[in-house]
Structure 1
Amino acid sequence: MSKAQALKLICVEEGALAAAKLDARAQAWAEANGFTGQRGRLLAIPGDSGAIEAWLFGTGEAAGRPALVTGLAGAQLGEGTYSLAGALGDPTLAALGFKLGAYRFDRYSKAKAQPALELGSDADAAEVARLTEAATIARDLINTPANDLGPDAMEREIRAFAKARNMSVDAIVGDALLAANFPMIHAVGRASAEAPRLLDLRWGNEADPKITLVGKGVTFDTGGLDIKPASGMLLMKKDMGGAANVLGLAHAIVDAGLKVRLRVLIPVVENAIAGAAFRPGDVLTSRLGLTVEIGNTDAEGRLILADALALADEESPELLLDMATLTGAARVALGPDLPPLYCTDDALARDLMAAGLKTDDPLWQMPLWSPYDAMMSSKIADVNNAGAGGFAGSITAALFLRRFVSKAKAWVHLDIFGWAPEARVSRSQGGTDQATRAAYGVLRDRYSK
């Protein structure tokens, strides 16, 4: 569709209709329909023939307005091409919001047609495309059910991802994990019909600062022998949400050409139930040599992450960042939209939170409260994988992981949900990106060429 055919989407702040400088007919139409710029409201403006010639979109009051509020328009509009006008704020974020709101997952059923956006010259088209793709990678993977995205298929997806971005990729699969000293990844995934594995992706100049990302890749989590109730399994296709979001972040880093030596480690397993399943009360020896008593087989994510983090930490990266759909306790504490952030560098944590607020990708720093380490004590091993009692579950999980990081200059742990229970601004219901824009924003500011 040519630029002349693109329908204008005129953004209007609450109570500022006059600032849109509509012609008299459109102004009268808006007033007659009670349009005042209410957040999320769309109003079609008819032309002389009765066909729609433009749309009004309410961005709401300036105070507290999400940066990506235009996502509400992208979610509602149907097939067609649109161009943004009016009270946009940051044109790049306005365009990004629209495109993220326009996301549809249509692999298994016909979804509502996705609107297209014609970007103005004042928006950074490359940045919009890069962050849209990062979010789409995460959302598509999380939304795909486990029958089509088990460990074998996940490896194929990761290999295709790496090939498209000229990243090297290696895999350690099945019993080779034991020979390579990844015993906990092997233990968690060995009961599945599809072997556990560790994917290792690399990109960039070896002389540049080392940035390593680790993503939890549990393609489905039954809970193991400590089996979840049926209701607890309904969303467990999303338990690889950390891996999906790490891949989205890796895409943004590579596409932007940041001056880093990037490594991505993704342990991929299915926590299944069979005769080979690891058991409550087992004691596993980790890659680091620490022994772990299994207090709960449903606390499996921290086990596979521990082996991967230990590997990553061996080369003393400047930044080691992991993402994982790790604990229900995080959702009890902060809800589904606000992932807890744990960090060994408070200045970095503040930067991440600030970057997240700018791009509707919020994070909230939580304490690595060392006295709670005692909750994971074991009488027969170095540590238990499940904290005693029901207190501080997200904190104790972070403290468990911290035991496997000592050489990295800074470590960040993000306990994401990876799911929108209902549609949000710039996020459709279902699998979603979290923490990617926040992390990318900090890395871009620090490592742009």
Structure 2
Amino acid sequence: MNLPAFLDTADASTRPLHVLQREQFADWSAQQPAPVRAWLQAQGFAATPGSLVLLPGDEGIAGAVIGIGDAADPLSYGHAPTGLPAGTSWRAEGGLSAEARAALQLGWGLGAYRFDRYKTPSRAPARLLLEAADAQAAALLDACLRVRDLVNTPAEHLGPAELEAVVRQIGDDHGAQVEVFAGDALLEHNFPAIHAVGRASHRAPRLIALRWGAQDAPKVSLVGKGVCFDSGGLDLKPADGMRNMKKDMGGAAHAIALAELVMRQRLPVRLTLLVPAVENAIGPDAFRPGEVIATRSGVSVEIDNTDAEGRVVLGDALAYAGEDAPEVLLDFATLTGAARIALGPEVPVLFANDDALANAWLEAGERTRDPLWRLPLWRPYLRYLTSTVADLANSGSRMAGAITAALYLERFVPAGTRWAHLDVYAWNDSDRPGRPAGGEAMALRAAFQMLRSRYPG
């Protein structure tokens, strides 16, 4: 993974970095020598969130000051690694709390990240001295960067087989069991919907299953949509809509990274990770509008639109997950443009059939500054998924697209299973401090916090 460079020991070139909120600036400034106060005034610096100023010294740069907003929000610090001079080394000053220092560590890593598999970054990030690194912040950073790297990798180098290889490597690292049903084995083991969506590609579709933890531990199942590229199928996407469809496995990236976090932090659970990995391609064997396909649960589905394929593959995976009667079932998917229209690109949409589970995830989002927002499973809208020839249509009206997609998924969750679904964008459209353009982890830290609170150990 693309990890930022941190320092673990001080040296002569490490400079002080003063971290200030706007309301702290006046008192701090009053304690500085007159030349420093004059310099800050000349620069118009007032420690507003996202601001930065270098402090001059006899031999060049003597230090720097960054302005932050919420001290517990990692993104408050995201501007520092690329705002400070390239390759310079810094140690944080200012009596930061343990919570703020963990946020600084995580935010610095998020801001320093650049996807460099194909292109060397134009500059090195500034480095941060960590005298006492926070282990959980390090694990969370690794998970977030795992998502970014996976989503940023084009389908040429991250198809279903390559996604399987990632899961197998993670499984090997943590002593997990990995089982894969690929190609026609999907039909033999009753995963017909996954097979139908992926059969047109020369890259065999598959269901990747990872299992870890004690047999008698509470069962937690994670499912991630792994559409490694989505052309839209025969209902072909226009060029603009297809351009970034390497990211349509963003749900799988989130589920994989969360599973890795659970294992790395050794939560006392019996974990199952399921990734239906396919490429929605065009070819002689592509599934067609109007076809009625079978599913693992026995629900027949009429294909109204081949570009609503993610929910089709998830249906089989959710039904399979439910067969283990998990205590908690979470799924992640880059599922609908309607969710982006409703909440924009930065806030993923949460659906849940259990209020306590939903509230726990929402509260964890507030605590970790990793936001998400709940929309209702408004069941009267199931009428938009009515088929005259099958039990269910995979698409329908343009109304309430995110809700109807979630309602479709709910049909495959066994009754009595606590389930939550996150419709996530997994992408930054443009560069912002701490959030470079490209793949992004959203509500992942919140999901882990929720699970850690539920299963302390």
TM-score in terms of structure 1 length:
0.95
1:96 aligned onto 2:106: yes
1:328 to 337, 357, 361: 337
Q: Given the superposition, is the C-alpha separation of residues 227 and 152 from structure 1 closer, same or farther in structure 2, using an over 3 Å criterion?
A: same
1:152 positional shift: 1.9
Aligned to 1:119: 130
Pairing 1:142–2:130 present: no
User: Alignment partner of 1:228: what SS?
Assistant: coil
Which of 221, 226, 234 is the aligned partner of 1:217?
226
Which of 30, 46, 53 aligns to 2:56? It is 46
**1:66 and 1:360 in contact (8 A); partners too:** yes
Written as runs of structure 1 = structure 2, the 5 A alignment for 1:293-312 is 293-312=302-321
Larger mean CA deviation between 395-404 and 423-432 belongs to 423-432
Deviations 1:130-159 (A, max 9, x none): 000000100000000111111122222221
- Contact 2:233–2:307 (8 Å) recurs in 1: yes
Q: Which of 208, 223, 229 is matched with 2:238 structurally?
A: 229
CA contact (8 A) 1:314 1:407 kept: no
User: Could you say what secondary structure the match of 2:211 adopts?
Assistant: strand
Name 2:10's counterpart in structure 1. Answer: 3
Q: Report the Cα offset of residue 66 of structure 1.
A: 4.4
C-alpha RMSD of the superposition: 1.7
Indicate the larger mover: 169-178 or 105-114.
Answer: 105-114
Equivalent in the alignment of 1:84: 92
1:75 CA drift (Å): 4.0
Written as runs of structure 1 = structure 2, the 5 A alignment for 1:18-97 is 18-20=26-28, 21-50=31-60, 52-60=61-69, 66-77=73-84, 78-86=86-94, 88=96, 90-97=100-107
Decide whether the 8 Å contact of 2:73 with 2:103 is kept in 1.
no
Question: C-alpha offsets along residues 419-445 of structure 1, whole Å, 9 cap, x if unaligned?
Answer: 011234532111010121010011111
Asked whether the 8 Å contact 2:72–2:103 carries over to 1, the reply is no
Partner residue, 1:399: 407
Q: Deviations over 1:181-223 (max 9, x none)?
A: 0000000000001000010001111111100000000000000
**Displacement after TM superposition at 1:268 (Å):** 0.4
Corresponding residue for residue 180 of structure 2: 171
The structure-2 alpha-carbon separation of the partners of 1:46 and 1:224, relative to structure 1 and needing over 3 Å to count, comes to: same
| 2:267 maps to 1:258 | yes
Question: Please, which of 239, 242, 248 is the counterpart of residue 251 of structure 2?
Answer: 242
Q: Which amino acid aligns with 2:18?
A: I
SS in 2 for 1:195: coil
2:225 counterpart letter in structure 1: K
Contact 2:80–2:126 (CA under 8 A) maintained in structure 1: no
**Residue 65 and residue 128 in structure 1: after superposition, are their counterparts in 2 closer, same or farther (change >3 A)?**
closer
Q: Find the counterpart in structure 1 of residue 4 from structure 2.
A: none
Equivalent of 1:349 in 348, 351, 358: 358
* C-alpha distance in structure 2 between counterparts of 1:221 and 1:102, whole Å: 30
The answer to whether the 8 A contact 1:220-1:240 is kept is: yes
d(CA) in 2 for partners of 1:25, 1:167: 60
In the other structure, the counterpart of 2:324 is 315
- CA shift at 1:95, angstroms? 1.8
| % identical aligned pairs | 48
Q: Which residue of 2 aligns with 1:412?
A: 420
- 1:434 maps onto 2:434 in alignment: no
Which deviates the most, 71-80 or 320-329? 71-80
Residue type of the alignment partner of 2:188: A
**Cα distance in 2 between the residues matched to 1:283 and 1:146:** 28
Specify the code of the residue in structure 2 equivalent to 1:423: D
Deviates more, 1:366-375 or 1:156-165: 156-165
Distance 1:408 1:311, change over 3 A: farther
CA contact (8 A) 2:348 2:371 kept: yes
Shift of 1:320: 0.2
So what's the TM-score if we normalise by structure 2? 0.93
Contact 1:257–1:448 (Cα < 8 Å) also in 2: no
State the one-letter code of the partner of 2:260: H
Please say which of residues 301-310 and 154-163 is displaced more in the overlay: 154-163
- The DSSP-based 3-state class of the residue aligned with 2:75 is coil
Residues 337-357 of structure 1 deviation map (CA, whole Å, 9 limit, x = unaligned): 011100112122122112112
* Structure 1 residue 407, shift from structure 2 partner: 4.5
Alpha-carbon distance between aligned partners in 2 of 1:88 and 1:22, rounded to the nearest angstrom: 19
What stretches of structure 2 of length at least 5 have no aligned partner?
1-6
Per the alignment, residue 190 of structure 1 pairs with 199
Q: Residues of 2 paired with 1:424 and 1:285: CA distance?
A: 44
Residue by residue over 1:287-333, the C-alpha shift from the partner in whole angstroms, topping out at 9 and shown as x without a partner, is 00000000000000001000000000011100000000000000000
- Cα distance in 1 between the residues matched to 2:378 and 2:94: 47
